């Protein structure tokens, strides 16, 4: 028999011992639920590539927010499908735009909810790009003004946090300036600082009707091969006044999350995107994976890599699993 001094297995013998030495915890406070607001009344349309995710009319958004709050979730992020799209994304900053209505409805239905508004143009432009397009090019500086206007209108509607996701250079600074100029110094900016041009956004574009009509998003979203550039993006957003940094997608980019965590002291968010959700769902539906365990394992890994906040379509299922305590027994 070997004479082993160190036996890591000792602390793994029983569930309560394992729970005691668990290094990373996932809690409902970490989770943010995405919701998609659409026109109409009593609309609840399931997204074909995302079972369990719906396009909801504003009345249904209110119900969903109240039930999320009752379930123990305290934050959500809103996306909008406008009545009509145009070249200038006017639906993004309309006083009575779909997201602005949804924000007010959530505030009434669940007053304590932290309301995050995704700030981008792709859901509102006819061409589906995240910025203004001229001669087939996505223009940076021309887009900033519209993004800033959108953020201010979301703040006016009652958003606590605006989350610019267009990947335009200078968007955080432009939005911070505009918010301050409109007396919204107290509204925070959660920057999609490190957003990769990922094939994992496919199902989201079904949900939000935001497939680009031509080309792709590689002239503004990042190349998946780049890590140093991610630090540069985060540096810039930090300097421009971001309150929260985000890395997106999450699971394939845990190394990037860890590097951002080690380098910045700001709160850090990760977005477990539509394709990450759809992959687990599809495999689970075919009986290839244990959905709840894979869900908790991926979410815990994202926390372990350094995320404080996780935006996930699994938010509801995760709070349910957490309150049953199954992960510690």
Which residues participate in catalysis according to the annotation? 195, 248
Whether residue 155 contacts residue 184, with contact meaning beta carbons closer than 8 Å, is answered with yes
Min dist. Cβ of residue 132 to ligand PBG (A):
14
73 binds ligand PBG (CB under 6 A): no
Which CB sits closer to Zn ion, 130 or 260? 130
Comparing CA positions, the residue from 170, 141, 172, 175 lying closest to residue 155 is 175
For residue 242, give every residue at least 6 positions away whose Cβ sits within 8 Å of its Cβ, in sequence order, or none.
Answer: 172, 189, 190, 191, 193, 266
Q: Which entry of ligand PBG, Zn ion, none binds 273, CB below 5 to 8 A by partner kind?
A: ligand PBG
Q: Which residues bind Zn ion (CB under 5 A)?
A: 120, 122, 130
Which CB sits closer to Zn ion, 19 or 213? 213
Residues 204-263 that bind ligand PBG (CB under 6 A): 204-205, 210
Whether residue 274 contacts residue 208, with contact meaning beta carbons closer than 8 Å, is answered with no
Reading the block at residue 269, the tokens are 């968010």
What is d(CA 26, CA 30) in angstroms, rounded to the nearest whole number?
7
Q: Which entry of ligand PBG, Zn ion, none binds 234, CB below 5 to 8 A by partner kind?
A: none
Single out the segment in contact with ligand PBG by CB under 6 A; choices: 3-11, 89-97, 116-124, 227-235: 116-124
Min dist. Cβ of residue 275 to ligand PBG (A):
6
26 binds ligand PBG (CB under 6 A): no
What is d(CA 73, CA 65) in angstroms, rounded to the nearest whole number?
9
Q: What three-state secondary structure class fits 219?
A: coil
Which CB sits closer to ligand PBG, 57 or 210? 210
**Three-state helix/strand/coil letters over 122-173:** CCCECCCCCCEEECCEEECHHHHHHHHHHHHHHHHHCCCEEEECCCCCCHHH
What is d(CA 54, CA 58) in angstroms, rounded to the nearest whole number?
12
191 binds ligand PBG (CB under 6 A): no
Q: Which entry of ligand PBG, Zn ion, none binds 100, CB below 5 to 8 A by partner kind?
A: none
What is d(CA 198, CA 208) in angstroms, rounded to the nearest whole number?
16
Residues 138-177 that bind ligand PBG (CB under 6 A): 165
Reading the block at residue 291, the tokens are 């959905």
Single out the segment in contact with ligand PBG by CB under 6 A; choices: 8-16, 24-32, 117-125, 314-322: 117-125
Residues that bind ligand PBG (CB under 6 A): 118, 120, 122, 130, 165, 201, 204-205, 210, 273-274
């Amino acid at each position: 028999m070997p004479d082993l001094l160190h036996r890591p297995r000792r602390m793994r013998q029983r569930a309560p011992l394992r729970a005691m030495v668990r290094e990373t915890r996932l809690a409902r406070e970490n989770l943010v639920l995405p919701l998609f607001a659409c026109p109409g009344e009593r609309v609840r349309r399931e997204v074909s590539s995302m079972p369990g995710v719906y396009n909801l009319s504003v009345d249904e958004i209110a119900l969903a927010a109240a039930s999320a709050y009752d379930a123990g979730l305290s934050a959500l992020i809103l996306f909008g499908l406008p009545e009509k799209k145009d070249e200038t994304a006017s639906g993004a900053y309309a006083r009575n735009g779909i997201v602005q209505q949804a924000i007010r409805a959530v505030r009434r239905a669940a007053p304590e909810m932290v309301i995050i508004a995704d700030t981008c143009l792709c859901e509102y432009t006819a061409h589906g790009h995240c910025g203004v397009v001229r001669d087939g090019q996505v223009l940076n500086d021309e887009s900033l003004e519209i993004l800033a206007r959108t953020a201010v209108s979301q703040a006016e509607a009652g958003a606590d946090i605006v989350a610019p996701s267009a990947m335009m250079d200078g968007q955080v600074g432009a939005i911070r300036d505009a918010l301050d100029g409109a007396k919204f110094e107290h509204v925070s900016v959660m920057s999609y600082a490190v957003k990769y041009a990922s094939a994992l956004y496919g199902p989201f574009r079904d949900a939000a009707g935001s497939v680009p009509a031509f080309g792709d998003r590689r002239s503004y979203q990042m190349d998946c091969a780049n890590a140093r550039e991610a630090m540069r993006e985060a540096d810039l957003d930090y300097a421009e006044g971001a309150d929260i940094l985000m890395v997106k997608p999450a699971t394939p980019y845990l190394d990037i999350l860890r590097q951002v965590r080690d380098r910045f002291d700001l709160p850090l968010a990760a977005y477990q995107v539509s394709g990450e959700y759809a992959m687990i769902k599809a495999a689970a539906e075919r009986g290839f994976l244990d959905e709840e365990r894979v869900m908790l394992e991926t979410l815990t890994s994202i926390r372990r890599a350094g995320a404080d906040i996780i935006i996930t379509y699994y938010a509801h299922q995760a709070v349910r699993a957490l309150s049953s305590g199954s992960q510690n027994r």
